[in-house]
Structure 1
Amino acid sequence: MSKFTPVVWPKVILFGDSITQFSFQSHGWGAEIANKLARKCDVVNRGLSGYNSRWAKVVLPRLLGGQNSAEHIAAVTVFFGANDCSLEDKNPQQHVPLQEYSENLKDVGKLLSSAGVSSDRIIFITPPPLHEPAWEKECLLKGSPLNRSHAVAGQYAEACVRAAGQVGADVLDLWTLMQKDGQDYSVYLSDGLHLSEQGNQFVAQHLWGLLESRVADLPFILPYWGDVDPSSPESSLLRDQ
């Protein structure tokens, strides 16, 4: 059997809560990023619905794997806060106090750095704004009162921006961008909390603006089909790139 070098795909890891987990659905922002990076990079969805930053920093080392696991990671997005900002008296299970949330994000950044993912490859994403009337309907359908606040979500978004600066990571401030110039941010949300199709497009567009420079130099993996020698495909397909 002829010897060959295994093909290694670099990775972009999407780490977050349900807004990340759902991002691989049809027209989702994660699926859009994965499509842009086909044949260049694997986009790995590590979204965990319902999770907060407290739980995130506990499970992150298990998700990263063992030694040299970060060697081929091109970028990591860290997208928590939508559950952390739950009101303590209405949703204590998911609520994380603001200061702890900030520290948890910084700990996530430090864990990634200690695993070999440099801070310039980390992108924090703030929670989006919350449309209270729509989310209250969802809560009432489940037999509970409104358990989140638009203003409180904004405080967590600000904390996310500060934490990113303190660990040297980039940040996508959805809270600010979705409300820029007084625009109606509710169109970006399907139920007041999670993203609509338009919201997914918004996130994909702005995230790509931050990701593109980090993946611009990644090569096209394996030869273009027209460049394969049909008389001796092995000579094209088994050579190192």
Structure 2
Amino acid sequence: MTAPYPQVVLFGDSLFQFASDLKGGFSFEAALQTYCSRRYDVVNRGFSGYNTSQALKILPQLFPALRPSGPKLEYLIVLLGANDAAVTVPVDCQHVDMDKYRANLKTIITHPNITAHKPKILLVTPPPLDEIRVAELDLANGHPHVLRHAKVSAAYSQTAREVAAEVPGTVAVDLYQEIMDYAITKTPGFDSSSGLLGDPTTGKRGYLEHLLPDGLHMSGEAYRVFFDAVVPHIKPQDPKQPQAGWTFPEWRKAPWLES
């Protein structure tokens, strides 16, 4: 009996939960499933609002112990940290301090329920934050101060890079830099030596306004940038052998045709 399809699992917060949405004519999850068609199932385990502590808490339920009859985790793509980087507030606090964030990420990607599958792990840095836009919305919604800061988010992204470098076999996908570089190339006249796009000290949102409409969540265009950064790390189809890796054979070669 053929085993279940191997899986590519997206594990994270709203940036993965919303990856299934069609935005500007593009859906990250649909594009990835198309890329993986007949080879892997793409499974979305994105949880809006979750930080790394919450994600770690539910990990054993999402990734049970390896079973012979269960699907193999071929790729694990982890994107967490945007909520950990939120400021500390008295109620509904999402913040996780930097040291705990680092420890949580390491525990997630080295958890026995994960490593038993021997997957390829892609650890994604949280994207940039457009603090200028976030501030507009936070203050308009009655918050006494801004709930997220661009420089703090950048520091959490750096921590994710360091964790990827510290855990053998882990691949860093630098979504922060990919989006920031893309935004800078589309912001005429912006001098990156002056600071960050989206930081109040520069006073310039630039092209981030098209990539992060609410300052935090990604547009379809940003998800395209993300997709282009991820797919080189997932084993591509061989143009000379397009059926290599298929779980079930091409229809002309299906054994039941002979009966």
Q: What TM-score do you get using the length of structure 1 for normalisation? A: 0.84
Q: Please say if residues 109 and 115 of structure 2, whose CA atoms lie closer than 8 Å, have aligned partners that are also in contact.
A: no
* 1:82 lines up with 2:82 in the alignment: yes
Among candidates 18, 22, 25, match of residue 18 of structure 2:
22
Aligned to 1:31: 30
Gaps of 5+ in 2: 186-206
Task: Read off the aligned partner of 1:223 and give its amino acid letter.
Answer: P
Listed one character per residue, the Cα deviations across residues 170-221 of structure 1 (whole Å, up to 9, x for unaligned) are 11111122222833344321311111010011101111112236x8796123
Task: Read off the aligned partner of 2:58 and give its amino acid letter.
Answer: V
Task: Assess, with a 3 A threshold, how the Cα gap between structure 1 residues 114 and 21 changes in structure 2: closer, same or farther.
Answer: closer
* 1:221 lines up with 2:247 in the alignment: yes
Aligned to 2:126: 127
Instruction: Report percent identity of matched pairs.
Output: 28
Pairwise CA distance, 1:134: 1.9
**Runs (4+) off by over 6 Å:** none
Q: Please say if residues 71 and 116 of structure 1, whose CA atoms lie closer than 8 Å, have aligned partners that are also in contact.
A: no
Q: Please say if residues 73 and 117 of structure 1, whose CA atoms lie closer than 8 Å, have aligned partners that are also in contact.
A: yes
Task: Read off the aligned partner of 2:116 and give its amino acid letter.
Answer: G
Among candidates 218, 225, 231, match of residue 195 of structure 1:
218
Pairwise CA distance, 1:124: 0.5
Pairwise CA distance, 1:38: 1.4
Task: Assess, with a 3 A threshold, how the Cα gap between structure 1 residues 98 and 234 changes in structure 2: closer, same or farther.
Answer: farther
Pairwise CA distance, 1:111: 0.5
Pairwise CA distance, 1:105: 0.3
Task: Assess, with a 3 A threshold, how the Cα gap between structure 1 residues 190 and 14 changes in structure 2: closer, same or farther.
Answer: same
Task: Read off the aligned partner of 1:157 and give its amino acid letter.
Answer: S
Tell me the secondary structure at the aligned position of residue 143 of structure 1: coil
Q: Please say if residues 135 and 146 of structure 1, whose CA atoms lie closer than 8 Å, have aligned partners that are also in contact.
A: yes
Alpha-carbon separation, structure 1, partners of 2:72 and 2:114:
15
Aligned to 1:102: 102
Alpha-carbon separation, structure 2, partners of 1:112 and 1:208:
26
Aligned to 2:193: none
| Aligned residue runs from structure 1 range 171-186, under 5 A | 171-180=172-181, 182-183=184-185, 184-186=207-209
Between structures 1 and 2, the one with greater helix share: 1
Alpha-carbon separation, structure 2, partners of 1:156 and 1:61:
25
Q: Please say if residues 86 and 92 of structure 1, whose CA atoms lie closer than 8 Å, have aligned partners that are also in contact.
A: no
Using the TM superposition, name which of 201-210 and 128-137 deviates more.
128-137
Aligned to 2:138: 139
Using the TM superposition, name which of 215-224 and 5-14 deviates more.
215-224
- Cα RMSD after superposing both structures: 2.5
Aligned to 1:238: none
